[in-house]
């Protein structure tokens, strides 16, 4: 199981059974592409639950599960799409294959309505006096606006508990969820 978390908040117990974690080595080293084409080697820590014996990979929120690109790169591409750019132009700007960017955009567009609903529920629960959010003109744009509103509401209520990008990736974790067939 992959556990996505903000680096400042290590998990204290297993999601499945509530047992305590023990260090269990590291996951495989992987290369992650950052903004500006910078490549970084990452070796996430692995932990094992003492009760159910399930292992978990602890992955920082800016490192998107099952993706070779960081959250900064992916969210930048999604914002560019919400502003009307096409996948080929975005891919050229990021020096990435067009198919990679097209896959992100397709998944995010297909999951946008669900993410928008989840983010708006969280935003309103966190800040009941939240004002109206203007429509962006597309489902993806609306989902990204809702994510921004949820992050802003959480930061107003809880303080700076993490970077905005990390919070957005935790709240919008289903944005890049595989397409249903």
Question: DSSP string spanning 85-148?
Answer: --HHHHHHHHT--HHHHHHHHHHHHHHHHHHHHHHHHHHHHH-TT-------SSHHHHHHHHHH
pLDDT surpasses 60 at 5: no
Go through the chain and tell me how many residues it has. Answer: 181
Per-residue pLDDT tens over the stretch 37-70: 889 999 998 989 889 998 888 888 788 888 899 9
Q: How far is CA 39 from CA 48, 102, 130, 138, in A?
A: 29, 21, 39, 32
Alpha-carbon span 55 to 97, nearest angstrom: 33
Note whether 91 and 98 are within 8 A (CB): yes
Sheet holding 2-5, edge to edge: 2-5, 55-60, 45-49, 21-26
DSSP 178: P
pLDDT surpasses 90 at 177: no
SS3 27: coil
Note whether 144 and 82 are within 8 A (CB): yes
Higher pLDDT, 9 or 89: 89
Domain positions in the chain:
2-171
Q: Give this prediction's pTM.
A: 0.82
H helix count then E strand count, the chain: 5, 6
Q: Residues 61, 155, 101, 97: is their CA dihedral positive or negative?
A: negative
Mean per-residue pLDDT of the chain: 87
Mean pLDDT of 80-88: 96
Mean pLDDT of 70-82: 93
Q: Which candidate, 52, 59, 101, 96, places its Cα nearest to that of 81?
A: 101
């Amino acid at each position: 199981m992959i556990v996505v978390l903000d680096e400042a908040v290590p998990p204290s117990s297993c999601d499945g059974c509530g047992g305590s974690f023990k260090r269990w080595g590291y996951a495989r080293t992987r290369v992650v592409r950052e903004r500006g084409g910078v490549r970084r080697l990452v070796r996430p820590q692995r932990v094992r639950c003492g009760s159910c014996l399930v292992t978990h990979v602890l992955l920082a929120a800016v490192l998107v599960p099952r993706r070779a690109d960081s959250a900064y790169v992916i969210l930048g591409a999604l914002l560019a799409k919400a502003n009307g750019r096409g996948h080929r132009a975005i891919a050229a700007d990021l020096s990435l294959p067009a198919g990679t960017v097209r896959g992100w955009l397709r998944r995010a567009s297909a999951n946008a309505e669900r993410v928008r609903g989840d983010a708006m529920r969280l935003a309103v629960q966190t800040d009941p006096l939240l004002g109206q959010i203007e429509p962006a003109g597309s489902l993806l744009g609306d989902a990204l606006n809702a994510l921004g509103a949820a992050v802003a509401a959480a930061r107003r209520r809880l303080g700076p508990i993490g970077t905005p990008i990390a919070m957005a990736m935790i709240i919008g974790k289903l944005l890049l969820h595989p397409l249903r067939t």
